[in-house]
């Protein structure tokens, strides 16, 4: 029995008659209807409710028990078919998808952590709130992709502007250090600064780059030997 299709939509009122036969027929018919209703109620109450017993669009959300609809009972082609705030997702696997306009971080309010910001268009890797490396599409330092290293108030930048690669130490020093050899190779090498020092602090200003005009070969030889001595002392010349 799947539908209550044997009972009338309305039960007729008792006939106004004193005819015993008519009254007996009414009572017999009424008894059959009550028996049918009793069986259908027993069928539904004991867990035999199915799609054939439910009128289309008759079940509302308020009538569903929380947690009663499980994932294996949901079938949709796209998650967008379910309109809802996904809330706090703590586990699972997302694979072969496209994500747009999202903030992603490896942890929340703790360090170290890495993050990707959709509002600032950058990647950051934090050691602490004041120590991090940042790769940004642009920065207020330059309208070009930039790599920024921050330690407290000291900022260093690596960026390409036009055909020039710039290494900038803002508020600090820039050190290029090698255990063996540091090579600078180019068509031209320019060393620019208010003071230029080499060999653990020896100033190039101490080298006599300008000599007086020698009066004879002996003075020229003396000036040459002096220059060679300074170049060897600063390890510019072996």
pLDDT tens digits, 109-118: 899 999 999 8
Q: Which residues form the domain of 121?
A: 101-175
The backbone region for 228, taken as left when phi is positive above 0, alpha when psi lies in -120 to 50, beta otherwise, is: alpha
Angstrom distance (rounded) from CA 141 to CA 129: 21
Angstrom distance (rounded) from CA 199 to CA 234: 6
pLDDT of residue 238: 59
Provide mean pLDDT across the span 124-151: 88
**CB of 119 closer than 8 Å to CB of 104:** no
Over its C-alpha atoms, the chain yields an Rg (Å, rounded) of 45
Provide mean pLDDT across the span 138-160: 84
Higher-confidence position of 10 and 102: 102
- Strand partners for 157: 148, 168
Provide mean pLDDT across the span 142-162: 86
Task: Name the DSSP letter for residue 129.
Answer: T
> Closest Cα to residue 112, out of 126, 130, 124?
126
pLDDT of residue 67: 76
Predicted confidence band at 51 (pLDDT cuts at 50, 70, 90)? Answer: low
pLDDT of residue 110: 93
Angstrom distance (rounded) from CA 176 to CA 160: 18
**CB of 230 closer than 8 Å to CB of 208:** yes
pLDDT tens profile 54-87: 777 777 777 777 777 777 777 767 766 666 677 7
Question: CA separation (Å) from 61 to 58, 69, 72, 78, 86?
Answer: 10, 11, 18, 21, 18
Whether pLDDT at 119 is above 70: yes
Residue 10, domain member (yes or no): yes
161 and 221, same domain (yes or no): no
pLDDT of residue 1: 42
113 and 163, same domain (yes or no): yes
144 and 196, same domain (yes or no): no
CA dihedral over 229, 233, 235, 238, signed as positive or negative: positive
Residue 195, domain member (yes or no): yes
65 and 107, same domain (yes or no): no
> H or E element: which one contains 102?
none
pLDDT tens profile 167-213: 888 777 788 888 888 888 888 877 777 776 666 556 666 666 667 78
The residue count of the chain comes to 238
pLDDT of residue 199: 62
Tokens (6 digits) for 199? 């060999």
211 and 168, same domain (yes or no): no
Q: Which of 53, 73, 93 is the last residue of a domain?
A: 73
Weakest-pLDDT range from 1-10, 98-107, 127-136, 154-163 = 1-10
1 and 52, same domain (yes or no): yes
Q: What is the full DSSP assignment across 191-228? A: ---SS-EETTTEEGGGS----PPPSSHHHHHHHHHHHH
Provide mean pLDDT across the span 208-236: 79
What does residue 172 show for φ and ψ, rounded to 5 degrees? -165, -170
Mean pLDDT computed over every residue of the chain: 78
Residue 182, domain member (yes or no): no
Sheet of strand 154-161, all strands in order from the earlier edge strand to the far edge: 104-105, 113-117, 122-128, 131-136, 146-151, 154-161, 164-170
**CB of 39 closer than 8 Å to CB of 1:** yes
Residue 95, domain member (yes or no): no
What's the total number of domains in the chain? Answer: 3
Residue 220, domain member (yes or no): yes
Three-state DSSP class for 35?
Answer: helix
Q: In Å, how far from its chain's centre is CA 77?
A: 25
């Amino acid at each position: 029995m799947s539908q209550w299709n044997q009972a009338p939509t309305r039960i007729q009122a008792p006939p106004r008659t004193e005819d015993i036969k008519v009254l007996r027929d009414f009572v017999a018919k009424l008894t059959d209807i009550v028996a049918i209703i009793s069986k259908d109620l027993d069928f539904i109450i004991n867990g035999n409710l199915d799609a054939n017993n439910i009128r289309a669009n008759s079940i509302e959300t308020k009538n569903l028990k929380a947690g009663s609809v499980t994932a294996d009972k949901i079938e949709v082609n796209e998650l967008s078919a379910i309109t809802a705030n996904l809330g706090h997702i703590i586990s699972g696997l997302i694979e072969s998808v496209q994500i747009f306009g999202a903030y992603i971080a490896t942890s929340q309010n703790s360090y170290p952590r890495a993050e990707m910001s959709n509002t600032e268009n950058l990647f950051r890797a934090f050691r602490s709130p004041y120590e991090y490396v940042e790769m940004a599409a642009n920065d207020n330092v330059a309208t070009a992709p930039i790599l920024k290293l921050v330690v407290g108030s000291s900022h260093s930048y690596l960026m390409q502007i036009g055909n020039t690669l710039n290494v900038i130490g803002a508020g600090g020093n820039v050190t290029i250090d090698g255990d063996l050899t540091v090579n600078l190779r180019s068509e031209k090498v320019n060393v620019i600064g208010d003071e230029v020092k080499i060999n653990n602090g020896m100033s190039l200003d101490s080298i006599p780059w300008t000599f007086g005009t020698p009066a004879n070969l002996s003075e020229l030889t003396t000036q040459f030997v002096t220059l060679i001595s300074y170049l060897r002392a600063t390890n510019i010349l072996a």
